[in-house]
């Protein structure tokens, strides 16, 4: 029995979370894997693939300058339809909450190709927040045949929406597979940033706060408020190093560089490849982010995390007491950061490992379920 699987992704976060699954499926008996990149984050995506020693089989190259979500969707639908016609997969695997995931699922549905949704079932219950991710994830869930839910709560969300229980598999999240593999790889090789990296000059003796931000919902005032808070904190704590890999989107670059460019202890650096970013997370004293994936990664590394969003589709991370939702209110960001910098007891309460999203073996569980699904089809 052979199962032809086409994996589709296009953004850096998708690539990070799909890479460990691709590594497993490439060597799984009975599975023929075809990896398709839609090419949104081409340079950053190839950095991820190189880190995991992977290559894509097809690059659709759909991004154009100033492209809208509707323009991207139009390009994706046409190019993926052509790709599916040529590859003829038994099942298409998509990930998470991106426009790529939803359109790849829709194109597969139109061709009556089965769909497997990795990281399925996360919900806020508000289609406007996070936007458009909540809508993409929900719509993908409607079309999917197999739902790979990271935790029981995600499974319960899917059951409430009428998805059949036999089509849902709780696997953990592949982002934890990627994180633990890379952390162990770096530690095993005693890896450090190269001499030419802006990270190489960071003093080991000083605390480091890592910041990431890219959510569309924070464009405009949200990013301005976050930067105002960071500017105040940098002024208060000149011996704390603030490292901010700045997303390439102009709506992020603009306010970040305008408001934070003049501080000696704020390091505005380009987006980092996965090795450098995992090293940064492992090195960090504290992390501030609006990223979904980092909400799972930071607790798994035992790093206190302040989430720069009003709601989260990952409420389970809040239950362990290592993650706090602070939004984009400058006063709240400043207050909670000061508390963690100045109060050792408050810091120790959050400085511990909490990983509700798995043990690093989600990819193997997904592969096993795919093979059971293939056997069930053969028995029909």
Both 160 and 41 in a single domain? yes
Average of per-residue pLDDT values in the chain: 93
Q: Select which of 247, 267, 276, 314 is catalytic.
A: 247
Specify whether 359 is catalytic: no
Both 366 and 321 in a single domain? no
Specify whether 161 is catalytic: no
Query: Is the pLDDT score of 379 beyond 80?
Result: no
Q: How confident is the model at residue 94 (pLDDT cuts 50, 70, 90)?
A: very high
Q: Which two tokens stand for residue 362?
A: 């989600």
- pLDDT value of position 216: 75
Least confident of 43-57, 70-84, 240-254, 313-327: 43-57
Both 168 and 117 in a single domain? yes
Q: How confident is the model at residue 42 (pLDDT cuts 50, 70, 90)?
A: low
Query: Is the pLDDT score of 372 beyond 70?
Result: yes
Both 88 and 229 in a single domain? no
| 56 Cβ contact partners less than 8 Å away, ≥ 6 residues apart | 35, 36, 37, 49
Both 197 and 159 in a single domain? no
Both 100 and 167 in a single domain? yes
Q: For 153-178, how does the pLDDT look when each residue is reduced to its tens digit (9 = 90+)?
A: 999 999 999 999 999 999 999 999 99
Structural domains in the chain (count)? 2
Cα 8 to Cα 15: distance, rounded to the nearest angstrom: 9
* Domain-located, residue 179: no
Higher-scoring residue by pLDDT: 47, 28: 28
Specify whether 216 is catalytic: yes
**Secondary structure of residue 204 in the 3-state scheme:** coil
Q: Select which of 42, 207, 216, 283 is catalytic.
A: 216
Question: Smallest Cα–Cα separation from 131: which of 17, 66, 215, 223?
Answer: 215
Specify whether 97 is catalytic: yes
Query: Is the pLDDT score of 244 beyond 60?
Result: yes
Q: For 188-217, how does the pLDDT look when each residue is reduced to its tens digit (9 = 90+)?
A: 999 999 888 889 989 989 999 999 987 777
* Domain-located, residue 117: yes
Structure-token match 């670059």, residue found: 253
Q: Select which of 79, 117, 119, 267 is catalytic.
A: 119
* Domain-located, residue 222: yes
Cα 114 to Cα 72: distance, rounded to the nearest angstrom: 23
Q: What is the mean pLDDT of residues 22-32?
A: 97
Please provide residue 29's backbone torsions phi and psi, each rounded to the nearest 5 degrees. -55, 130
Specify whether 361 is catalytic: no
Both 298 and 275 in a single domain? yes
Both 134 and 197 in a single domain? no
Question: Of all residues in the chain, what percent carry a pLDDT higher than 90?
Answer: 75
- pLDDT value of position 24: 97
* Domain-located, residue 181: no
- pLDDT value of position 41: 62
Q: Which two tokens stand for residue 367?
A: 């592969």
**Residue-range definition of the domain harbouring residue 282:** 186-350
Q: For 104-148, how does the pLDDT look when each residue is reduced to its tens digit (9 = 90+)?
A: 999 999 999 999 999 999 999 999 988 899 999 999 999 999 999
Q: Return the CATH number at 277.
A: 3.40.50.2000
Please provide residue 6's backbone torsions phi and psi, each rounded to the nearest 5 degrees. -110, 120
Q: Which two tokens stand for residue 180?
A: 């633990």
Query: Is the pLDDT score of 253 beyond 90?
Result: no
DSSP 220-279: THHHHHHHHHHHHHHHH-TTSEEEEE--S-HHHHHHHHHHHTT-TTEEEEPPPPHHHHHH
Q: Are 107 and 84 in contact (CB under 8 A)?
A: yes
pTM, full prediction: 0.85
Q: Select which of 12, 123, 155, 214 is catalytic.
A: 214
Q: What is the mean pLDDT of residues 9-32?
A: 94
- pLDDT value of position 110: 98
Q: How confident is the model at residue 276 (pLDDT cuts 50, 70, 90)?
A: very high
Q: How confident is the model at residue 223 (pLDDT cuts 50, 70, 90)?
A: confident
Cα 44 to Cα 297: distance, rounded to the nearest angstrom: 19
Both 282 and 166 in a single domain? no
- pLDDT value of position 380: 57
**Secondary structure of residue 325 in the 3-state scheme:** strand
Q: For 48-85, how does the pLDDT look when each residue is reduced to its tens digit (9 = 90+)?
A: 888 888 999 999 988 777 889 999 999 999 999 999 99
* Domain-located, residue 312: yes
- pLDDT value of position 61: 84
* Domain-located, residue 214: yes
Query: Is the pLDDT score of 284 beyond 70?
Result: yes
Cα 277 to Cα 243: distance, rounded to the nearest angstrom: 11
Three-state secondary structure string covering 102-161: HHHHHHHHHCCCEEEEECCCCCCCCCCCCCCHHHHHHHHHHHCCEEEECCHHHHHHHHHC
Please provide residue 311's backbone torsions phi and psi, each rounded to the nearest 5 degrees. -140, 160
Both 139 and 28 in a single domain? yes
* Domain-located, residue 318: yes
Cα–chain center distance at 163:
24
Q: Select which of 117, 123, 133, 215 is catalytic.
A: 133
Structure-token match 């059949």, residue found: 164
Cα 229 to Cα 233: distance, rounded to the nearest angstrom: 6
Cα–chain center distance at 276:
16
Structure-token match 């990431």, residue found: 212
Q: What is the CA radius of gyration of the chain?
A: 20
| 44 Cβ contact partners less than 8 Å away, ≥ 6 residues apart | 12, 271, 273
Structure-token match 């599916």, residue found: 84
Both 212 and 234 in a single domain? yes
* Domain-located, residue 178: no
Specify whether 214 is catalytic: yes
Name the H helices within 266-326: 274-283, 292-300
Spell 288-325 as b/e; 16+ CB within 10 A means b.
Answer: bbbbbbbbbbbbbbebbbbbbbbbbbbebbbeeebbbb
Both 100 and 229 in a single domain? no
């Amino acid at each position: 029995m052979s199962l032809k699987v086409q994996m589709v992704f296009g953004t850096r976060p998708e690539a990070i979370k799909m890479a460990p699954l691709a590594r497993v499926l490439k060597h799984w008996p009975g599975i023929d894997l075809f990896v398709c990149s839609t090419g949104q984050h081409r340079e950053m995506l190839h950095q991820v693939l190189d880190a995991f020693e992977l290559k894509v089989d097809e690059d659709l190259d759909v991004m154009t300058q100033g492209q809208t979500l509707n323009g991207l969707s139009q390009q994706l639908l046409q190019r993926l339809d052509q790709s599916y016609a040529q590859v003829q997969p038994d099942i298409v695997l998509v990930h998470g909450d991106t426009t790529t995931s939803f359109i790849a699922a829709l194109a597969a549905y139109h061709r009556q190709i089965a769909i497997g949704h990795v990281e399925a079932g996360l919900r806020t219950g508000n289609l406007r927040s996070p936007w458009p991710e909540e809508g993409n994830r929900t719509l993908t869930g409607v079309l999917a045949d197999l739902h790979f839910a990271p935790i029981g709560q995600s499974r319960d969300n899917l059951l409430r929406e009428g998805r059949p229980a036999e089509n849902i598999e709780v696997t953990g999240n592949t982002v934890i597979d990627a994180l633990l593999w890379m952390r162990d790889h770096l530690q095993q090789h005693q890896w450090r940033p190269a001499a030419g990296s802006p990270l190489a000059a960071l003093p080991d003796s000083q605390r480091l706060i890592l910041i990431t931000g890219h959510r569309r919902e924070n464009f405009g005032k949200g990013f301005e408020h976050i930067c105002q808070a960071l500017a105040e904190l940098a002024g208060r704590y000149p011996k704390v190093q603030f490292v901010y890999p700045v997303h390439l989107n102009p709506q992020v670059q603009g306010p970040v560089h305008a408001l934070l460019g003049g501080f000696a202890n704020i390091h505005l650096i380009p987006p980092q490849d996965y090795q450098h970013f995992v090293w940064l997370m492992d090195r960090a004293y504290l992390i501030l982010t609006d990223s979904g994936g980092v909400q799972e990664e930071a607790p798994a590394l035992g790093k206190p995390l302040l989430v720069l969003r009003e709601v989260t589709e990952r409420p389970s991370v809040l239950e362990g007491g290592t993650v706090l939702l602070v939004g984009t209110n400058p006063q709240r960001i400043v207050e909670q950061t000061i508390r963690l910098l100045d109060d050792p007891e408050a810091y120790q309460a959050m400085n511990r490992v909490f990983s509700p999203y798995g043990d690093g073996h989600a990819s193997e569980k997904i592969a096993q379920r795919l093979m059971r699904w293939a056997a069930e089809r053969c028995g029909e």
